[in-house]
Structure 1
């Protein structure tokens, strides 16, 4: 079996690649830059150049591939739009996979995508799920809520640095999950027949609101957060304004997703049956408390070491030098 991972340089994709390699799969990664993906090659993956937005690059990358795990999605820093990557690119990949005779296709979606037709990313995910289900491919859809890794930049770092933490609208409780645990489900799906032509929620142990996460970060860091609340109406006004400009289309589409995060509706699901189907132990899934505690423990330890080195250097400078000149009488 040759497993092709798409989006392998991303936050989730790299964990899927690491997990698959560790479990002995022959892994190939579709990448846009060999230089930026060098770490994947060091892990043992084969790199093949290609781009979802250039369908002509896909057939060659799919030669000999029996399985695809698709973790590709547009990034905030990309010049490409959500539509170009998450719809047109995904459709091109699925069509190429069907033509190449790919036997399994694992796709990452978002939980409750069908409940937000006015949010571009959610509607695109819903449509992509339908396209995949009707493509004739043997698929598994994993519907995610959020990554714990994203909370470091959103809450952890700002609180440590005394920077504002932004909260918009009525905070929606979200069942964040460590990407390493998500990767377990993705790779396990390949060996569990019951996951074929099925969709599953893959979420964390419980849902957390923004206020709860901030309180947890404050306790673990020993620092107070500077919370700044942005009215939802103001965000909508900004989105409407940038929508008038072509350069702002991608920004507007991403701001629309804030409507989901500020709706007050939880992004969560029951996971008991899912763990049974996949044959995984829920007790081994990282909790948000343990994840953030490990992060802050490492950071606080590092800060103490840096402060110690700084103090030590300062003391050394203040010591009287044995070569200090003696004033002549």
Structure 2
């Protein structure tokens, strides 16, 4: 049975993955709302049938009117410095969206968050900026919302015949390079959109890479083979316990197990 169409908000909609998520969600019959900072730029980059919603994840006051919908796909990516640092975009951007949702009575959208393979490493291979993506995952798990978290490998460095998706758990590939796994951007975009209507994807966190073979037409068997994250845990199933909660702090003090700061 086909899932009912949703109203899907895409956050990071003008990015290289976000644009493909908008196209994928539209192709699946969903009503797509695209969060953009600049309406003119958004209109140039996105299809005409996407509703453009002006807002900025680094400006919380712009978000409450933008975040309405049945589902949200977060594909945020920082540039590494200043106002677009991992802390301000990859982490605080997710926090600001979730805070805006909490301000809306009864808002319980399904959430799909894209982070990165290697998010749990503490070594210099990937660098500490990915720790902010891990913290954003913890925010989503602590929110109480229905979620799926996707950690893709290296974008578009797969071979032309490598589209067979592989879902991994435990985040143990840590070379800091393409040897950890690669996957096409178009294949990445399919996964969070499919997760929004797949019961099998609820509460799952996984790494996404591609191997030789054709892209699967149905992702539900891949979702069904995953283990869910432990109820009440801020970390994913089989993740290494190498970022102690009692050593984490934020602008409002120590992290709470219910709502990280």
Distance 1:174 1:51 in 2: 32
1:238-317 alignment, distance < 5 Å: 276-278=221-223
Within 5 Å, give how 1:12-51 maps onto structure 2: 12-39=17-44, 42-51=47-56
1:111–1:104 distance in 2 versus 1, CA, 3 Å: same
Counterpart residue number, 2:141:
133
CA separation in 2, counterparts of 1:171 and 1:81? 21
Identify the residue that residue 123 of structure 1 maps to in structure 2: 131
User: Aligned to 1:70, which of 66, 69, 74?
Assistant: 74
Q: Aligned match of 1:175 in 181, 190, 193?
A: 181
Q: Give the corresponding residue for 1:56.
A: 61
Greater helix percent: which structure?
Answer: 1
Which TM-score applies when normalising by structure 2?
A: 0.67
Larger radius of gyration: 1
The alignment status of 1:112 with 2:118, answered yes or no, reads yes
In the alignment, the residues of structure 2 paired with residue 170 and residue 85 of structure 1 have an alpha-carbon distance, to the nearest angstrom, of 22
- Unaligned 5+ runs, structure 2: 1-5, 160-174, 225-261
- The CA deviation string for residues 62-84 of structure 1, in whole angstroms up to 9 with x for no partner, is 23x11100011212587532211
- Give the 4+ runs in structure 1 shifted more than 6 A: none
Q: Helix, strand or coil: the match of 2:114?
A: strand
User: Which residue of structure 1 aligns with residue 101 of structure 2?
Assistant: 97
* 1:246 alignment counterpart: none
Judge conservation of contact 1:6–1:69 (CA < 8 Å) in 2.
Answer: yes
Aligned partners of 2:80 and 2:86 also within 8 Å: no
| Aligned position for 2:92 | 88
Task: Please give the alpha-carbon distance, in whole angstroms, between the structure 2 residues aligned to 1:93 and 1:120.
Answer: 23
SS in 1 for 2:111: strand
Classify 1:91/1:12 alpha carbon distance in 2 versus 1 (closer, same or farther; 3 Å). Answer: same
In the superposition, the TM-score normalised over structure 1's length comes to 0.54
Q: Contact 1:105 / 1:138 at 8 angstroms: preserved in 2?
A: yes
What's the offset of the Cα at 1:98? 3.4
